[in-house]
């Protein structure tokens, strides 16, 4: 057996073990009610309180046992002017495309589209959304919103928020929430 064949066989053996190791890393449970720690940060676009539900899934949709995993996150964000509830499917990437069938080169046809990605990177949850009006990101108005969630010192919920818009500068802020 030559060296290339040995290396190939080792890759076949080790790849599933590495994938299982990454999948088995403990993920934080953000469930609970969280209050913005620094009230001076509060504003119309910053939630003062977060009510989070993050159920631990132990079975597949067919009822078969599976290793426990957080596959869904429901966030009730309480703003100065109201409440917004969002549910995210963790481990998914998707989006929508709208418009009218026809000549793709016709600039008068609305080609709006959106994308969403929710994934774990180690012990941090990444939530990204984008809304676009052009055929490409830069060919029309757009808004992108990215959040990275993690548990910091003293069990605080840390969320870094990055907002990009076609008509303004990139805005980045880190919010700290304490359990209520």
**From CA 147, how far away is CA 127, in angstroms rounded?**
5
* Non-local CB neighbours of 83 within 8 Å, separated by 6+ positions: 76, 77
The answer to whether residue 166 is domain-embedded is: yes
Containing structural domain, residue 116: 27-98+106-179
pLDDT tens track for 138-149 = 888 999 999 999
DSSP character at residue 41: G
For residue 22, being part of any structural domain is answered with no
Contact 28, 44 (CB under 8 A): no
Q: Is residue 6 part of a domain?
A: no
| Range in 35-44, 71-80, 125-134, 167-176 the model is least confident about | 35-44
Residue 13 located in a structural domain: no
In CATH, what number is assigned to the domain containing residue 42? 2.40.128.20
Q: How many domains does the chain have?
A: 1
Q: Is the pLDDT of residue 18 over 50?
A: no
User: Is residue 19 assigned to a domain?
Assistant: no
12 lies in a domain?
no
Please report whether residue 17 resides in a domain: no
Summarised one tens digit per residue, pLDDT across range 49-75 is 999 999 999 998 899 999 999 999 999
Q: Could you tell me if residue 7 is inside a domain?
A: no
Cα(150)–Cα(110) distance, integer angstroms: 38
Stated pTM of the model: 0.77
Both tokens of residue 60?
């597949």
Higher pLDDT, 40 or 137: 137
Q: What is the pLDDT of residue 20?
A: 40
Of all residues in the chain, the percent with pLDDT exceeding 70 is 77
């Amino acid at each position: 057996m030559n060296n290339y064949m040995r290396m190939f066989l080792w890759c076949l053996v080790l790849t599933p073990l590495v994938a299982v190791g990454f999948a088995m890393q403990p993920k934080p449970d953000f469930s609970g009610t969280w209050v913005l720690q620094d009230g001076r940060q509060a504003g119309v676009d910053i939630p003062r309180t977060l009510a989070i539900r993050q159920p631990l899934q132990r079975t597949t949709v067919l009822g078969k046992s599976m290793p426990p995993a957080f596959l869904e996150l429901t966030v009730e964000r309480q703003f100065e002017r109201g409440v917004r509830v969002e549910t995210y499917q963790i481990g998914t990437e998707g989006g929508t495309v709208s418009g009218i069938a026809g000549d793709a080169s016709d600039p008068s046809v609305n080609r709006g589209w959106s994308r969403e990605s929710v994934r774990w990177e180690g012990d941090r949850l990444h939530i990204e959304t984008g809304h676009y009006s052009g055929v490409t990101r830069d060919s029309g108005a757009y808004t992108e919103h990215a959040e990275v969630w993690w548990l910091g010192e003293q069990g605080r919920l840390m969320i870094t928020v990055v907002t990009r818009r076609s008509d303004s500068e990139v805005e980045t802020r880190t919010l700290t929430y304490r359990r209520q």
